[in-house]
Structure 1
Amino acid sequence: MQFQRNELPEGTLIDLYKKLLYPRMIEEKMLFLLRQGKISKWFSGIGQEAISVGVTYALQPDEWIMPLHRNLGVFTGRNMPLHILIAQWQGAEEGYSKGRERSFHFGNKEHYICGMISHLGPQLAVADGVALAAKLKKEEKVSVAFTGEGGTSEGDFHEALNVAAVWDLPVIFIIENNGYALSTPINEQYRCKNLADKAKGYGMEGVQIDGNNILTVYETIKGVRDYCIQNQKPFLIECMTFRMRGHEEASGVKYVPKEMFAEWIEKDPIKNYERFLLEEEIVDNLTLAHIRDELKERIEEGLKASPLSHEEESGISVNSANELKDVYAPVRKAERLIEVDGYVFSKKETRFVDAIKEGLHQSMLKHPNLILMGQDIAEYGGAFKVTEGFVNEFGKERVRNTPLCESAIVGTALGLSLEGFKSVMEMQFADFVTVGFNQIINNLAKIHYRWGQNADVVIRMPTGAGVGAGPFHSQSNEAWFVHTPGLKVVYPSTPHDAKGLMIAAINDPNPVMFFEHKALYRSMTGEVPEEYYEVEIGKARQVRIGWDVSIITYGMGVIWATEYADTHPEISIDILDLRTLMPLDYKAIRTSVNNTGKALVLHEDTYTGGIGGEIAAWIAQNCFEFLDSPVMRCASLDTPVPFNIELEKNFLAKSRLDETIQKLINY
């Protein structure tokens, strides 16, 4: 292995050695503790340290890094206290994730490290968002994301690189090519000669380097960082390396030919660098021994300060209230809740679609750090023209057309949030959210619970049937997200609520799924305040008070219930518009059921697995003493949404509403 000193001072060369050796010695200690049962899981980076250490050393301390399993050198390179790292690996309360996450699945904003999730690809797009934030702030910074050669097969790799290239983002993508994903060798993973060659296909530069040569890694990253900043372009670096242990300790290494170990042990990044330092007379053996002793003492001090120093296994204080509290970032008090402050607003008759537009527009004026993203939302104004004219007023930096990369754009939104930006992403149709599902469910929703980082993201979801759009443009999929702790789900039925909830969702520091029924866009009008106001998330609206039967509903169900009540004055119907599906307003549900003793849960979603089942179960369990009949549900058929209008009418819950109400009334 050839090392090029390139006039680096002795102090830098020795410092690099210390930073290279430190994670190796920590890991050797952790493997010992693993065998003792003191920690439960370990992903070894032995043999790959030069990449993590070289990358981190070449960056500024306030530049974000998105590491993976084998990047201990990133954490130590950012000087994270060892005793807290040990607590993290032990699953102790003192760790960065309070015992809620494993090994390296955590981050910390103070050290500009974004914690990975087990799905390896999504972090690449988060780096896009951080780089976009730097670009918008006019800061000379890059972001760095790691992946393995196996991760390059994922769709997120393609999407993240494509977005970075199209938007000219200063991102460095690092591929750690150690020859195996878990056990799958590279000849079963890809067919191109070098992964670095993929860069050209995205319109960016790429290079393959020896990932075991600490000076090569360091100098390459330094030069690439300068290139990305000066040219405002991304760059792909393939680092060739090898891991000397299994994917994780339980998997072993039987699938690796023995001769490979013999070959790669000669390429050990630490032994080779030590040899270079000795040959160049930068250090002697006494100095190397002194450095090892110094680091060993440092590790022992970290162990003594960690929970592992306790004679008995470190306990954790289990508190359900705290667990639930940490699912969401705290929300500041709303600037104005129209329902409670008695403020007199000037109002005008407004369509549903225009109310949403007003909420977005006033929020763009209120928050200079608010970014809108979505397919065709700029000059075209979006599929439903909600953002028409915005690009002329706010510019293309803040109103951004996106490639067809839903997953990457959700990840980008999260990256923006790391740097204090707000974002609203438009799914062109709610149906298309499936290709961004992983980012929403596993990244946005869980991040605050995992390591205290909020995701200030709103995802607009044009939803619903009734317009003859067929199976892929008509689904009601809100129940998918209600099932996910960490998300908030809102679903207005009136122009007033559409505007107020949109503003509230943007002001909320948590990820909000904002459902907008397409059939209401231009058919529903109502009085809407012209001022900037919020409607409280998590608070239902009493549409009308009745005494015979309660209809608990939301979205288009509110329209159906109101129309039915208007045409059946002989039935006194209590109608509750939930407005927010997560969190639910259980107090309002209880009050409505208490009014009538008969409850019908109505929604457009299909019957099985819809939120109606959850609400009905809650009523049965918590309002049993009020009930004069079983809780009933009225929902759409358990089929995809048909295209033919007559079939669609039969599909929708509205076609069974009268039958269900009559059955309930006559029970």
Structure 2
Amino acid sequence: MAQTSSSTIAFDYDPGKLDNSVLLSLYEKMIKPRLIEEKMLILLRQGKISKWFSGIGQEAIAVGVCEVLNKDEYILPMHRNLGIFTGREIPLNRLFSQWQGKANGFTKGRDRSFHFGTQEYKIVGMISHLGPQFGVADGIALGNLLKKNKQVCAVFTGEGGTSEGDIHEALNVASVWQLPVLFCIENNGYGLSTPTAEQYNCEHLADRGKGYGMETHIIDGNNILEVYTRLKEIVESMRETPRPVMIEFKTFRMRGHEEASGTKYVPQDLMDQWAAKDPITNYAEFLRNANILTEEKEVEIKTAIVHEINENLDIAFAEDPIDSSESNELNDVFKEFVYQEVKPNIETQELRLVDAISEGLKQSMERHENLVIMGQDIAEYGGVFKITEGFLDAFGKERVRNTPICESAIVSAAMGLSINGFKSVMEMQFADFVASGFNPIVNYLAKTQYRWEQNADVVIRMPCGAGVGAGPFHSQTNEAWFTHTPGLKVVYPAFPYDAKGLLATSIEDPNPVLFFEHKALYRSVRQQVPTDYYTIPLGKAALLKEGKDVSIITYGAGVHWAIEELETMDAVSAELIDLRTLAPLDTEAIFNSVKKTGKVIILQEDSRFGGIASDIAAMIADECFEALDAPIKRVASLDTPIPFAANLETIYLSKRKFKQELLELLRY
């Protein structure tokens, strides 16, 4: 056991029963990221890397966390946690290639610095929006609970990030579900240039944990022995008694938010105070006083690391610049999905749209044992539309999970489940509420496959649409928000048969799918539906009616509006196409129809400007211009919020204008 009484050391190190080899190893693991950083700062000034977020002064935290977790336990670090990446022994040439945007990195040049993950090393990198990281950790931890593997997941944020709503949601979910997540908050004094006094109004961030019913600890983040020994005890306890634990590490950021921002806003006496608490210089002095780190050993360690850095830099610098093609980039947006057709059986039953969705979801739960469904009130209550009624008895509370009202955290948790090998379906109680979970959908689910080849095996069910007098916040059909975002698939069935088969395929598909379900059609549309499980391919429109005079392109409730009007227009030979899937879009079916009829009208329930009809019209103009005999017509609802009163809703909806616009087009 090593002891020291040197008055020059800022910390009272207590090695307890730690072996000297462990004490020395902790030094080696801290000095390595420090030496790498010092080299990176030189390369930054030389213009050989583009940006750097320094963790100098905080190495003890990353190293301590990494050392107490097993290699197969996930860690979700931030951009100041280089010690996590080196502690997991990622080859340095791959890290250097990543920072230079080269192919041997982890993102094929598509993202920078530490914005990446790797299943090989069980690391899940951050996104710039910070907050969703905590929710993703929730999902990974939930997966661990379901696997009963007694594993812990650790996730990082700075004190600035704790103000984000996503983080508060995720902390609440972790506490309610008792998820084994180690929430690591590096309280390093400043969020960019904003001091902590202007970020939160409590003495310690750890105090917030009490409000979530969560165990919390405050640890001196610059004292490697305190970090290591206390975390080791906490993590071992979490494995045996799964629960979330919040750790506030008191530390300081010795350099700017990133190097370009500098530190002029920090008082010099504060910088001097924390410089005296440097985690590496203090610990090295302790080891020297205890005769554990000799001068020769110190030189040997540093020399070996410097050689390793230089050798791997040579490898990275010698690597050719990233090369790609348009097809490569497009092909990597989605994880490859080979559609396997499951043909429908002969026996059918008449089902409403709501029943077909429920049956499809239930049969998918039976087919995929790793499928978890989550949403507000979906368990005992069966969901507000009763789609999951009876599911709790059939599949149990572990797989049918009521959630708090926190859309963002649950979307992020679904992402975490995918990382940990699960499928998930989240019920967005109303599609309107997706605004509260928008960030992780468009910035995490949509982009992670493209960035570092991690798919989001997630389906988000979206009860949507007007016609039920529900007003501005329960009536939107907001599919265009997501068809604009590469990396998302968007499905919008109009009939029970399609809904059941398309939902099955959406769940089979390993990519994120927004599955829109029109509320006004739930109980008003009936159809004969096969009783067994079957699939329908995404991206294939349905030709509901053949004709020669005009092509009607629509989806969702628009399909039924068009059918209703055509039944009163016997003389019109119209071709009616139900898109069924908006992303991917069946452009072949659209173009073939337009070239056949020469006239086209696109009907959507959504407001006109920026809707999907606009893009379809542009595509038709590009591809079918010479076949057109009339201008392309777009029929859409008013560019206003959706009103409540029935007569106002009628004025709003595009349904009232469709017949008139169709007749005008036919007369052209």
**Distance in structure 1 (CA, Å) of the matches to 2:611 and 2:572:** 26
Amino acid of the residue matched to residue 397 of structure 1? E
Alpha-carbon separation, structure 2, partners of 1:183 and 1:309: 37
Question: Separation in 1 of the partners of 2:340 and 2:646?
Answer: 43
1:324 aligned residue (316, 321, 330): 330
Q: Which amino acid aligns with 1:152?
A: T
Q: Does residue 1:69 correspond to 2:69, yes or no? A: no
Task: Say whether 1:144 aligns with 2:173.
Answer: no
Query: In the TM superposition, what whole-angstrom CA distance separates every residue of 1:312-353 from its partner, at most 9, and x where no partner exists?
Result: xx42213010100000001033142x4xxxx65221211100
SS in 1 for 2:553: strand
**Distance apart, 1:537 and its partner CA:** 0.6
Kindly provide the CA deviation profile for residues 197-243 of structure 1, in whole angstroms up to 9, marking residues without a partner as x: 11111001101111011111111221111222222210000001111
Q: How many residues align?
A: 658
Task: Please report how far the alpha carbon of residue 244 of structure 1 lies from its aligned counterpart in structure 2 after TM superposition.
Answer: 1.3
Aligned to 1:466: 467
Residues 345, 532 of structure 2: 8 Å contact kept:
no
Which deviations, in whole Å up to 9, do the C-alpha atoms of 1:393-439 show, x marking residues without a partner? Answer: 11100000000111000011011101110000000000000000001
* Cα distance between partner residues in 2 of 1:550 and 1:324: 30
Q: Which residue of 1 aligns with 2:8?
A: none
Q: Deviations over 1:279-334 (max 9, x none)?
A: 1111211111111001111111211221x146xxx422130101000000010331
Q: Which one-letter code corresponds to 1:643 in the other structure?
A: F
Q: Which residue does 1:38 correspond to in 2?
A: 48
Displacement after TM superposition at 1:260 (Å): 1.2
User: Where does residue 619 of structure 1 map in the other structure?
Assistant: 620
RMSD: 0.9
Partner of 2:556: 555
Among 156, 162, 183, the residue aligned to 2:193: 183
Shift of 1:184: 0.4
For 1:666 and 1:251, locate their aligned partners in 2 and report how far apart those are by CA, in whole Å: 64
Equivalent residue in structure 2 for 1:206, among 210, 216, 221:
216
Partner of 1:628: 629
Of 253-262 and 378-387, more deviation after overlay is shown by: 253-262
One-letter amino acid of the counterpart of residue 633, structure 1: R
Whole-angstrom distance in 2 between the partners of 1:614 and 1:102: 32
Q: Which runs of 5+ in 1 are unaligned?
A: none
Aligned to 1:233: 243
Matched, 1:251 2:252: no
CA positional deviation for 1:473: 0.1
Partner of 2:13: 3
CA distance in 2, matches of 1:323, 1:656: 41
The 8 Å contact of residues 51 and 217 in structure 1, kept in 2 or not, is answered as yes
Partner Cα distance (1:233, 1:316) in 2: 43
Question: Whole-Å Cα distance in 1 between the matches of residues 184 and 406 of structure 2?
Answer: 20
Q: Distance between the aligned counterparts of 1:444 and 1:345, measured in 2?
A: 37
1:564 Cα deviation after fit: 1.2
Tell me the secondary structure at the aligned position of residue 206 of structure 1. strand
Whole-Å Cα distance in 1 between the matches of residues 86 and 41 of structure 2?
17
2:290 match: 280
Instruction: Please tell me the residue identity of whatever aligns with 2:568.
Output: T
1:289 is aligned to 299
- Partner SS state of residue 618, structure 1: helix
Matched, 1:663 2:664: yes
CA distance in 1 between counterparts of 2:43 and 2:468 reads: 62
1: CA distance between counterparts of 2:133 and 2:285? 36
Q: Give yes or no for contact 2:341–2:536 (8 Å, CA) kept in 1.
A: no
Contact 2:492 2:580 in 1 (8 A): yes
Letter of the 1:31 partner, please give it.
L
Q: Are residue 193 (structure 1) and residue 203 (structure 2) matched?
A: yes
Verify the 8 A CA contact 1:352 1:495 in the aligned structure 2: yes
**How far apart, CA to CA, are the structure 1 residues paired with 2:141 and 2:526?**
41
Contact 1:169–1:233 at 8 Å: present in 2 too?
A: yes
State the distance in 2 between where 1:241 and 1:317 align: 41
Q: Relative to 1, partners in 2 of residues 1:625 and 1:631: Cα closer, same or farther, differing over 3 Å? A: same
Is structure 2 residue 487 aligned with structure 1 residue 481?
Answer: no
Give the C-alpha shift of residue 12 in structure 1: 1.1
Structure 1 match to 2:270: 260
SS at match of 1:642: coil
Match in the other structure for 1:546: 547
Distance 1:364 1:430 in 2: 22
Question: What is the 5 A alignment of 1:93-132?
Answer: 93-132=103-142
Cα drift, residue 450 of structure 1: 0.4
Secondary structure of 1:567 counterpart = coil
How much does 1:151 deviate? 0.7
SS for the counterpart of 1:111 is coil
CA contact (8 A) 2:150 2:242 kept: no
Q: Which amino acid aligns with 1:255?
A: Y
2:341·2:537 contact (CA, 8 Å) conserved in 1? Answer: no
- CA distance in 2 between counterparts of 1:375 and 1:254 reads 48
Measured after TM superposition, the shift of residue 87 of structure 1 is 0.6
- Where in structure 1 do 4 or more consecutive aligned residues deviate above 6 Å? none
Query: Quick one: distance in 2 between partners of 1:534 and 1:3?
Result: 63
1:501 and 1:255 map into 2 onto residues whose CA distance is: 56
Structure 2 counterpart of 1:347: 348
- Tell me the CA shift for residue 14 of structure 1: 1.2
Distance 1:528 1:144 in 2: 46
Q: How does 1:421-570 map to 2 (within 5 A)?
A: 421-570=422-571
| Counterpart amino acid of residue 547 in structure 2 | G
Alpha-carbon displacement from aligned partner over 1:269-288 (angstroms, at most 9, x marks no partner): 11011011111111211111
Structure 2 unaligned blocks of 5 or more = 1-10
> Structure 2 vs 1, CA of residues 248 and 275 (structure 1 numbering), >3 Å: closer, same or farther?
same
Matched residue, 2:7: none
Matches of 2:18 and 2:327 in 1, distance apart? 54
- Give the letter aligned to residue 326 of structure 2: S
**What SS does structure 1 have at the residue aligned with 2:394?**
helix
Counterpart contact for 1:227–1:233, Cα < 8 Å: no
Contact kept, 8 Å, 1:551 with 1:601, in 2: the verdict is yes
DSSP-derived class of the 1:616 partner: helix
Q: Distance in 1 between matches of 2:499 and 2:614?
A: 25
One-letter amino acid of the structure 2 residue matched with residue 263 of structure 1: Q
For residues 130 and 414 of structure 1, what CA distance do their matches in structure 2 show? 8
Matches for 1:343-422 after TM superposition, within 5 Å? 345-422=346-423
The C-alpha deviation readout for 1:69-100, integer Å capped at 9, x for no partner, is 10111111111111010010011122100000
Note the alpha carbon deviations across 1:621-649, whole angstroms, 9 max, x for none.
11112100111100000000000001001
1:345-366 deviations in Å (ceiling 9; x for gaps)? 2212111001001110000000
User: 2:32 — aligned with what?
Assistant: 22
Q: Where does residue 57 of structure 1 map in the other structure? A: 67
**SS of 1:6's equivalent?**
coil
* Equivalence for 1:163: 173
Say if 1:441 and 1:484, in contact at 8 Å, map to a contact too.
Answer: yes
TM-score by structure 2 length?
A: 0.98
The CA distance in 2 between the partners of 1:173 and 1:199, in whole Å, is: 10
Contact 1:116–1:123 under 8 Å retained in 2: yes
C-alpha displacement of 1:180: 0.2
Aligned letter for 1:608? Answer: F
**CA distance in 1 between partners of 2:45 and 2:160 (Å):** 28
Amino acid at match of 1:207: H
Give the stretch that moved more between structures: 513-522 or 324-333. 324-333
What TM-score do you get using the length of structure 1 for normalisation? 0.98
